[in-house]
Chains A and B, each alone.
Chain A
């Protein structure tokens, strides 16, 4: 199930639990974040320098990733920590859960992850909106829905859990072949 928001909607977890058979399901919680700011800045600086002096960009873009590995690690840890309560809750209930992280555009990363790992179902939350904004399905959800080649379960998250949008957390259950 895909889910938007910095925390999981209880609704999505409920839906996963109701629809899927625990023994046959492997859940991956995928949390997609933005690139850490310092890395982005470093990349920009390198890119800028590279284009100004027409130096090939390839080595330059590699360098900051290595240089800032601590920043990446910290960012990754933050993504994992953010979904920790939900992951723990699922594990306590006996589900097999793993956490994955990615950096980039959420729809791209979600669809790519699902494809790469042979995911069978994407579960996600859409935001509860009111008024004008309500006409707009979460843009992430809509993009995933359009591009995914597998079933997508969408659950509207309650108002309380859907206020902030910047990060995206996902539960992507995989059905065991067994």
Chain B
């Protein structure tokens, strides 16, 4: 039933956990994986000051390079596990919107979040929750610090 799994990643620690666990699950289910990375316009997203405007093209190039690195790493991990995967880079879109656009073509979305309280609110508040609120597809939310699940958990392959 779960033939296609979407794993959004921003390259952060908790996203890497999602990549890892999502791939383990895909391996067990024989599913194919799509890695999604969303590149926001730094000016729109608000993390570049207006003074940086003259350099924004260069900044964007840097971000884009970083994005391909993140996706390449995820693809390499998939290949090492024998999971069929492809990567998608979406530009100029809010991450939650991009995930929502993409999820309809998939059977399951695996996302990471920090298990700790406090951090939770921050991490979750933005992207994962925004996507979840409109989700039509099942979401598996995994934690960055639940080591117990790593080996024996439902997403770990035996």
Check: B140 CB closer than 8 A to any chain A CB: yes
CA distance A146 to B155 in the complex (A): 20
Of the candidate stretches A10-18, A56-64, A72-80, the one touching chain B is: A10-18
**In the complex, which residues of chain B have a beta carbon less than 8 angstroms from the beta carbon of A134?**
133-134
* B98-135 with Cβ < 8 A to chain A: 108, 115, 117, 120-121, 124, 129, 132-135
**In the complex, which residues of chain B have a beta carbon less than 8 angstroms from the beta carbon of A177?**
152
Of the candidate stretches B38-46, B58-66, B143-151, the one touching chain A is: B143-151
Check: A126 CB closer than 8 A to any chain B CB: yes
B132 touches A120 (CB 8 A): no
**In the complex, which residues of chain A have a beta carbon less than 8 angstroms from the beta carbon of B1?**
14, 17-18
**In the complex, which residues of chain A have a beta carbon less than 8 angstroms from the beta carbon of B138?**
11, 15, 153-156
CA distance A134 to B121 in the complex (A): 20
> Which of A19, A147, A149 lies in contact with B2, CB distance below 8 A?
A19
B149 touches A151 (CB 8 A): yes
> Which of B137, B146, B158 lies in contact with A151, CB distance below 8 A?
B146
Check: A89 CB closer than 8 A to any chain B CB: no
Closest to B154 in A: A121
Given contacts A14-B1, A173-B154, contact A151 B140 (CB under 8 A): yes
B148 touches A151 (CB 8 A): no
* A125-178 with Cβ < 8 A to chain B: 126, 134-137, 142, 145-156, 173, 175, 177
A-B contacts, 5 of them at CB < 8 A, read A19-B108, A21-B28, A134-B133, A145-B132, A150-B115
Check: B141 CB closer than 8 A to any chain A CB: yes
